[in-house]
Amino acid sequence: MDKQLLISTGVVKNASGSAYVELGNMKIMCSVQGPRDSFRSVDSQDKGALYCDFKYAPFAQKDVYQPNLLNRETKSMSLLLEKILSTSVDLEAFPKAVVELYIMVLEVDGDPLGLSLMCASLALTDAGLNLFGLLGCCCVSVMENNQMIVNPTSDELEKAKCYTQLAILNSTKVGVDGGVDFLLLGGDLFNDNKPTPSTLDKTTSLLNKYCLGSGDINFTHHPTEKSPLVVLFRCSIAFTARPVNYEDENLNIALPVFVIHGNHDDPTHEGPESKAHSALDILSSSRLVNYFACVPDVQNIEITPILLSKGSTRLALYGMGYVPDERLSRMFEKKQVTFFEPPNSDDWFHLFLIHQNLESRGSQRTFRLDLLPKFLDFVIWGHEHECKIDPTFNAQNRFYTMQPGSSCVTSLIEAESIPKHVALLEITGTDFHVTPIPIQNMRPFIFQTCSLSDFPHLDAASPTVAEAIEKTLDQQIESILSRLPPSDKLPLVRLSVDITGFPSISPPLFGAKYVGRIANPNSLLYPRRKRALTLGAGGGEGEGEEEGMGMDESLSSSAQFEMMVGFIETFLKEQGGLKILNAMHMRDTCLFLWAERVIA
């Protein structure tokens, strides 16, 4: 018999959150109080606690008033619900605080556990708590004739041979709690190749917290002579090969991490005779990550796979850390890059992790997909900030590509305002499935553009135009802030303003009034102008690209480099262009000087 499901939230006005669920003759209500300061002892100082009080109403059982008989099981049910629900609530968001759940079964007809979990999950959501996912639950019974009944009644349970509870949690706590085999990072773990001590301390603390433990490693590594999966212990005398961290008998690794470097944390030289080092080498030497895919020979790149297997599934994991795009493209075109395939290559799933420019940026040469070998099955593209988590099929090379994007906002550009995700990649044989997982607790970021010429009341010739511009832009900012959802983190806001034909604006002076309201007051405003380009013989002047007013300090080092090169190229074009050197040589020289400036 079909049972009607009725769900309602916000039914108890004085509670932090509440829900009522009715399925057939089963009726359950749940209310939430908190989070609030704890009057009880909290086990952990780093996260809060969740307590549950499960009870039956005195009249809950059909035709029988037996409150004592029903409530004998309430203590065990309360503890069971606490244990299950604690895994779905982000308790780290309110350390040393408690959330209290009160579940009342108003009418019982079957096993109330599944419906209680669903009701509690809805009430926690109504309270505004951050959940890793909503719990969907049901009870399934098997009858004498092997018929299966979902959410059986009390009478049906008495006749059943057996029954079980099923619960599904769409978990976003990726890693150990998500049961993944390993974590794969596609470069730029650090935004600087010389991170601050506090950044290194926080990074190592997180890796210790989530990666160390007594968990089982359920996949097998098949070492080869040229396997890149050898962690090198760097010292002043020589390189000494050591096992990967999860095979080190002195360590307990629950979640292996494999990482390549990007263009921000790439290896650099500290002196003319020193070896190139990355901040990732520190994590590698401390045995917290497996850093691979470094390119020691820029004249001849050999890319060998890490060979892993689990059951009948075989994974060939290729990786290549960042190499300047122009150089890498030339090496591919000159056949100076070699990929090695494993024996019986068709039986392996070939995954390639790369960190390069994919989209065109002015005159910069970028890396092309068609240069990659066609035996690859899946390419994970690092470096690009925009999140394009859904895989796309490349018809020319017959493989799929995925662009996870940056895991947090690192540049105040429009592409960063798209919701961030990580991906759960499941591989079975030569098939795969990708589950996008939203990143929780992100700092809000809003990007908006406007043009002063779109406001009719602004007159560039007016003596009070500066005050009028400031008032107009203030209205734009206030409109943005009013649309932001409540958050415990100050938002990032970027207003890109076309000021062509109007006087200049000082972003730091304008943003000073928003200190304490947004996270980036100095870079809140990004004024830009359209520059006129001469079209040459037979042409007049037309509008060209937009250019910013000076170097944008909020941009990453590589983005600032591209902006600097753009300024130089524009100036040289206006002077008649280069006569002896070509643009590529000029860029290489700029890159060398920029690297010296960054190291200094």
Question: CB atoms < 10 A from the CB of 34, how many?
Answer: 21
33, 35, 48, 515 from 16: Cα distances, Å: 5, 8, 16, 31
Query: Using an 8 Å Cβ cutoff, are 367 and 325 in contact?
Result: yes
ω before 35 within 30° of 0 (cis)? yes
Phi, psi for 141 (deg, rounded to 5): -120, 150
Alpha carbons 128 and 53: distance in angstroms, whole number: 20
Annotate 88-100 with b (16+ C-beta within 10 A) or e (fewer).
bbbbeebeebbbb
Gap between the Cα atoms of 293 and 309, Å rounded: 19
Joined tokens for residue 453: 């010429």
Closest Cα to residue 525, out of 496, 491, 483? 496
Helix orientation angle between 325-333 and 583-599, rounded to the nearest 10 degrees? 130
374 close to 397: Cβ distance less than 8 angstroms? yes
CB atoms closer than 10 angstroms to residue 85: 22
| DSSP element (H, E) containing 283 | helix 279-285
Active site residue 264: yes
Tell the burial category of 137 from Cβ atoms under 10 Å away from its Cβ (0-12, 13-18, 19+): buried
Pairing label, strands 492-498, 445-451: parallel
Q: Which residue among the candidates 264, 355, 385, 421 is catalytic per the annotation? A: 264
568: Cα separation from own chain's centroid: 35
User: What are the residue numbers of the active site?
Assistant: 264
